[in-house]
């Protein structure tokens, strides 16, 4: 019986793939970067996030579903009469990370190149959000006899701290089980904790440093950092001599200042391997620049140490466990405020690590470098029992459908699962690329481009359709499973 349904699901998804791309594009056009500082009662995360929510809910109504708007923190698409005690909730987010630099394509003018849809948010997480709506449409249109209700929930502050989910869970009930399509296949049953905060230097920089900054968001490895120095005799020559032909730097001389810009390569801060941290590159240059004061150079030397590696060795918090692997610690945003440098650390800590003890170690490291540690947020790890029957069922199904031998896993990325009861992340990423995909990516994207949180973020539409087929079949497999 399941095989018959599987064939019907495949045919339905193939028939609707062009329509799917059009609907995703309509969302990608909206620059929905969460902006609570410019929010209002009717738009707590800013006007663009409000517009994205309106567009998504209108799409749900267009396809015959009932929608609800929970004060623009979260929206839902599903049945009018809900039985949440017997509901599988799909959760996705409509907010996106800041654009960053070095795009070849327009970030909010989606374009399809071969089978890749390019635009900020296409992969993380607007494509999957629309995809889950299509999973619900597919099973409804095929008249599959569902034993559980399905409901899609979308939020607008996932990238910035998940205050949307905090508000929702404080005011509204949650479904019996939740699946978050913001990960890789198969089941992600655990997520590391997320600790964020600033190291604030106690001493002000000299008046030689007019401006110093880098990075766009705490969860992105910075691809650009910049220092503006007050112009003095021979300054430009000294800077060029220190750069010594390094192509990562550009120097612009003005009448009263010299601007030094360092280029890096961006990655998601939870998966920093292969990136180049622009803050580190800039700090390495400035710590040896003769025209700066000894005190300034000492601060940049400390910055260079703090931004040098990604596993907490230099900050004194290195840790590893069998469940989740190594803690990561990335320097992601640099600012100069009131003459003092502030460096943001984005830490993804192992599930068994003690975050209170970790902050004590951060305080010690900060003090030794002439800084103070200011904690911004601590989001506790999520752990959905690996022994839960759904983990084995969905993992085995994924392997059966793909011919893989993948195992359920724990990751450093954070999803809505950490804010919800009885929740885990499941897909839609990490499907194996074939030679067509690899060849197309080489034609379309520069190195370091095309991924989530990278410039020219691109969604592989061929793999998304394949993933949605797996998702719909997973709901068929879970149909007899009591929630």
Compute the average pLDDT of residues 221-234: 93
Write out pLDDT tens, residues 332-344.
999 999 999 999 9
Question: Is there a single domain that holds both residue 235 and residue 364?
Answer: yes
Paired with 163 in beta bridges are none
Q: What is the 3-state secondary structure (H, E, C) of the chain?
A: CHHHHHHHHHHHHHHCHHHHHHHHHHHHCCCCECCHHHCECCECCCHHHHHHHHHHHHHHHHCCCEEEEECCCEEEEECCCCCHHHEEEEEEECCECCCCCCCCCCCCCCEEECCEEECCCHHHHHHHHHHHHHHHHHHHHCCCCCCCEEEEEEECCCCCCCHHHHHHHHHCCCCCEEEECCEECCEEEEECEEEEEEEEECCCCCCCEEEEEECCCCCECCCEEEEEEECCCCHHHHHHHHHCCCCCEEEEECCCEEEEEEECECCECCCCCCCECHHHHHHHHHCCCCCCCHHHHHHHHHHHHHCCCCCCCCCCCCCEECCCEECEEEEEEEEEECCEEEEEEEEEECCCCCHHHHHHHHHHHHHHCCEEEEEEEEECCEECCCCCHHHHHHHHHHHHHHCCCCCCEEECCCCHHHHCCCEEEECEECCCCCHHHHHHHHHHCCCCCCCCCCCCCEEEHHHHHHHHHHHHHHHHHCCCCCC
Structure-token pair, residue 280: 């580190």
Question: Is there a single domain that holds both residue 150 and residue 187?
Answer: yes
| Residue 25, pLDDT above cutoff 60 | yes
Give the end of a domain, one of 379, 403, 437: 379
Q: What angle do CA 120, 266, 164 make, to 5 degrees?
A: 50
Question: Is there a single domain that holds both residue 200 and residue 100?
Answer: no
Taking all residues of the chain, what is their mean pLDDT, rounded to a whole number?
Answer: 95
**CATH number, domain containing residue 248:** 3.30.70.360
Question: Is there a single domain that holds both residue 333 and residue 412?
Answer: no
Write out pLDDT tens, residues 37-70.
999 989 999 999 999 999 999 999 999 999 999 9
Question: Is there a single domain that holds both residue 174 and residue 264?
Answer: no
Question: Is there a single domain that holds both residue 202 and residue 157?
Answer: no
Of the candidates 458, 393, 382, the one whose C-alpha atom is nearest the C-alpha of residue 422 is 382
Paired with 74 in beta bridges are 70, 155
Distance CA 48, CA 51 (A): 5
Compute the average pLDDT of residues 457-474: 98
| Residue 369, pLDDT above cutoff 90 | yes
Whether 63 maps to a domain, the answer reads yes
Task: Please report how the helices 127-141 and 2-15 are oriented relative to each other, as an axis angle in degrees rounded to 10.
Answer: 130
pLDDT band (50, 70, 90) for residue 233: confident
Distance CA 135, CA 88 (A): 12
| Residue 1, pLDDT above cutoff 80 | no
Q: Are strands 193-201 and 371-379 parallel, antiparallel or unpaired?
A: antiparallel
Give the end of a domain, one of 325, 347, 379: 379
Position 255 scores a pLDDT of 87
Write out pLDDT tens, residues 410-437.
999 899 999 999 999 999 998 999 999 9
Position 317 scores a pLDDT of 97
Distance CA 138, CA 132 (A): 10
Whether 348 maps to a domain, the answer reads yes
Question: Is there a single domain that holds both residue 144 and residue 183?
Answer: yes
Position 450 scores a pLDDT of 96
Q: Give the whole-number percent of the chain exceeding pLDDT 70.
A: 100
| Residue 451, pLDDT above cutoff 80 | yes
Taking the chain, what is the end-to-end CA distance rounded to the nearest angstrom? 22
Distance CA 101, CA 456 (A): 10
Domain limits for position 70? 2-192+382-477
Distance CA 286, CA 258 (A): 13
Question: Is there a single domain that holds both residue 389 and residue 359?
Answer: no
Residues in the chain: 483
Question: Is there a single domain that holds both residue 114 and residue 219?
Answer: no
Question: Is there a single domain that holds both residue 176 and residue 220?
Answer: no
Of the candidates 378, 3, 6, the one whose C-alpha atom is nearest the C-alpha of residue 161 is 378
Question: Is there a single domain that holds both residue 234 and residue 103?
Answer: no
pTM of the entire predicted model: 0.84
Whether 285 maps to a domain, the answer reads yes
Position 244 scores a pLDDT of 86
Measured in whole angstroms, how far is the alpha carbon of residue 105 from the centre of its chain? Answer: 20
Whether 367 maps to a domain, the answer reads yes
| Number of domains forming the structure of the chain | 2
Position 24 scores a pLDDT of 98
pLDDT band (50, 70, 90) for residue 235: confident
Distances (CA, A) of 132 to 111, 126, 204, 354: 21, 10, 50, 36
Whether 483 maps to a domain, the answer reads no
Question: Is there a single domain that holds both residue 373 and residue 398?
Answer: no
**CATH number, domain containing residue 183:** 3.40.630.10
Give the end of a domain, one of 336, 364, 379: 379
Write out pLDDT tens, residues 149-208.
999 999 999 999 899 999 999 999 999 999 999 999 999 999 999 999 999 999 999 999
């Amino acid at each position: 019986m399941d095989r018959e349904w599987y064939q019907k699901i495949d045919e339905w998804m193939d028939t609707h793939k062009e329509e799917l791309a059009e609907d995703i594009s309509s969302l990608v056009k909206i620059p929905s970067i969460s902006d609570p500082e410019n929010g209002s009662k009717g738009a707590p995360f800013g006007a663009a996030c409000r517009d994205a929510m309106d567009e998504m809910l209108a799409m749900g109504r267009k396809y015959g579903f009932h929608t609800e708007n929970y004060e623009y923190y979260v929206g839902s698409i599903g049945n009018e009469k809900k039985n949440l005690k017997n509901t599988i909730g799909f959760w996705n987010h409509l907010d996106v990370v800041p654009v960053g630099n070095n795009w070849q394509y327009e970030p909010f003018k989606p374009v399809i190149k071969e089978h890749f849809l390019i635009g900020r948010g296409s992969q993380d997480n607007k494509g999957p959000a629309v995809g889950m709506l299509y999973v619900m449409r597919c099973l409804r249109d095929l008249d599959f006899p569902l034993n559980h209700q399905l409901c899609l929930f979308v939020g607008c502050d996932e990238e910035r701290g998940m205050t949307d989910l905090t508000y929702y869970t404080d005011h509204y009930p949650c479904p019996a089980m939740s699946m978050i399509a913001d990960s890789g296949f198969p089941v992600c049953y655990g997520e590391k904790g997320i600790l964020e905060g600033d190291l604030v230097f106690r001493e002000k920089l000299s008046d030689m440093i007019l401006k110093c900054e880098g990075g766009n968001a705490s969860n992105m490895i910075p691809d650009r950092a910049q220092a503006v120095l007050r112009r003095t005799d021979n300054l430009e020559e000294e800077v060029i001599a220190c750069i010594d032909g390094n192509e990562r730097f550009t120097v612009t001389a003005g009448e009263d200042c010299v601007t030094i810009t360092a280029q890096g390569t961006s990655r998601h801060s939870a998966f920093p391997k292969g990136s180049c941290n622009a803050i580190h590159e800039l700090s390495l240059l400035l710590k040896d620049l003769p025209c700066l004061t000894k005190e300034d150079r000492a601060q940049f030397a400390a910055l260079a140490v703090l931004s040098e590696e990604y596993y907490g060795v230099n900050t004194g918090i290195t840790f590893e466990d069998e469940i989740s692997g190594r803690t990561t610690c990335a320097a992601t945003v640099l600012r100069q405020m009131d003459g003092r440098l502030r460096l943001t650390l984005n830490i993804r800590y192992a599930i068994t690590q003690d975050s209170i003890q970790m902050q004590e170690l951060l305080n010690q490291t900060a003090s030794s470098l002439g800084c103070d540690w200011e904690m911004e947020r601590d989001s506790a790890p999520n752990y959905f029992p690996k022994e839960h029957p759904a983990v084995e069922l969905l993992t085995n199904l994924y392997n059966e459908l793909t011919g893989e031998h993948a195992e359920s896993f724990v990751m450093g990325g954070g999803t809505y699962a950490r804010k919800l009861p009885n929740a885990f992340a499941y897909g839609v990423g990490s499907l194996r690329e074939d030679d067509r995909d690899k060849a197309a990516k080489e034609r379309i994207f520069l190195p370091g481009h095309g991924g989530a949180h990278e410039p020219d973020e691109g969604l592989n539409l061929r793999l998304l359709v394949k993933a949605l087929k797996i998702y719909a079949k997973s709901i068929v497999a879970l149909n007899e499973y009591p929630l």
